[in-house]
Amino acid sequence: MRRNGIHRFIGDRRFYRRAMAVALPIMLQNVVTNFVSLLDNIMVGQTGTASMSGVAVVGQLFFIFNLVIFGTVSGPGIFCAQFWGAGQERDFKAAFRYKLATSVIMCLGCMGVFILFGERLIGLYITGGEEEAAQVMGYARDYLAVMLWGMVPFAVATAYATTLREADRGLVPMIASWLAVAVNLSLNWVLIFGKLGAPALGVRGAAIATVIARFAEAAVNVVWSHKNRDKVLFTRRMLEGAPMGRAMFWDITRRSLPLTANEALWCVGTATLTQIYSTRGITVMAALNIAYVLYDVFTAVAFSLGSAIGIVVGQELGAGETERAVDTDRKMLALEVAMAAAIGVVMAALAWLFPRFYNTTGDVRDLAALVICVMAAMLPFECLANGCYFTMRSGGRTMVTFLFDSCFTWAVNVPAAWLLAHRTGLGIVAVYALSTATVLIKDAVGLVMVKKRYWVNTLAGSRGGGSVTKE
């Protein structure tokens, strides 16, 4: 009996081949992208603690922007995955057009906020002496002014890349990201440090390199998609069936708004957590920046399985194979948690070595190492919550994901961190560990909801939007 119970969470070779066929391109793309962010961070870190802190603060603002765009494309992405599974071509293209338009509109709105209120938002993260704070503000202001130019290409690239993945063409966005990585890394070396006769631009050079890389990534995704109309659906007679029917428009909007709001509120909540921790001083902000960079690289693998759950399970739901979707989801959740545990061990082993790559103080390095250890210990629990989130999202239960994710962050995580930071004498490591441990509550709620199968829901199959040819 115990053997049968365990086997419910373990797939056969065919299962793992299919899961990894979807997850591997996402993993490789995210790992390479985050690894370059790591190298970018280390390069900027060589110029000093103030410049590193300035870039880290702006990074928090762009973390919010990135996830807002991700939330914007996620709603129509649910429909794209299910329409692909159901073989509905016209509806698939209509969902893509919706995705592209809304992501660009949201991008322009975020640009307006950064232009009008960027300096005020940066100031929320800067504490310490007047001279030190002025230095950090100066670096942050310079970095933000350049990074604004890369926001539109990022939104366009995201819309195309996610749709390519939902149509089982994940190799293209992966190659696009690799090209962007090569461009970013080489230009970082040239522009930050003034190599090959170029001026040493410091943080401005890092921003210029990132913007150019984002244009390169967008170009590959867009040009390939439109030059290969026979291989992708959404660029083959792209406007066919336009305009979108009113019923479909409101159906996608109704399910997309909670996801967009969720990503916005969740990432603002996460940024608020960082701001709460940063009230303990510039040292804490610098240490968190180092720890977050390593965390992003290692979690790119495990969290990518969550994205794969949304695609694979969504396709099976769209095809009407609900029991298979339930079985697939259970096994992919188990795989994500197991992989996270293994990654956590490696991450903890590097905790004291990695901070030494930064040109900063010993206190910053030691604090970063301790935070990395906490992150490593909590990673399996974070990934379980991530998997539960994508499970519920795959069936279009977007209001539930809103309550599960961002509402939890603001109702539990943020208040816990604030109370621990401002109403106790605990050190910052203990404050961070205890506030992060609130994810255990989220895991318990997520497992109950997944087990009750409330997320099993089919959105496709009733529109008759043409057939899909899957080469």
Summarize pLDDT for 191-224 with one digit per residue, the tens: 988 888 888 888 899 889 989 999 999 999 999 9
Alpha carbon distance 206, 185 (integer Å): 9
CA angle, residues 64, 433, 277, in degrees to nearest 5: 50
Backbone phi, psi, residue 465, to 5°: -90, 40
pLDDT for residue 93: 82
Angle at 13 between CA 454 and CA 165, to 5 degrees: 60
Cα(94)–Cα(85) distance, integer angstroms: 15
Beta-strand ranges (E) seen in 222-286 are: none
- How do the pLDDT tens digits run along the chain, 471 residues long? 344 567 788 878 888 888 888 888 777 767 766 666 666 667 776 777 778 778 878 887 887 888 888 888 888 888 887 787 777 777 888 888 889 999 999 999 999 999 999 888 888 777 666 777 788 888 889 999 999 999 999 999 999 998 888 887 878 888 898 898 889 888 988 998 888 888 888 889 988 998 999 999 999 999 998 888 777 766 666 655 545 667 778 888 887 788 778 877 887 888 789 889 988 877 887 888 889 888 888 887 778 888 888 888 887 887 778 888 888 889 989 999 999 999 999 999 999 998 988 877 888 899 999 999 999 999 999 999 999 988 887 877 778 888 888 889 999 999 999 999 999 889 999 999 999 999 999 999 999 988 888 788 776 554 444 444 444
In whole angstroms, what is the distance from residue 410 CA to residue 172 CA?
37
> For residue range 81-132, what is the model confidence (pLDDT) as tens digits?
778 777 777 788 888 888 999 999 999 999 999 999 988 888 877 766 677 7
My answer on whether omega of the bond before 243 falls inside 30° of 0, hence cis, is yes
The C-alpha atoms of residue 409 and residue 420 are separated, in whole angstroms, by: 15
Among 221, 243, 214, 113, residue whose Cα is nearest residue 159: 221
E strand or H helix that includes residue 282: helix 282-318
Alpha carbon 239 to its chain centroid, in Å, reads: 30
Domain ranges of the chain: 19-233+246-451
pLDDT score recorded for residue 415: 95
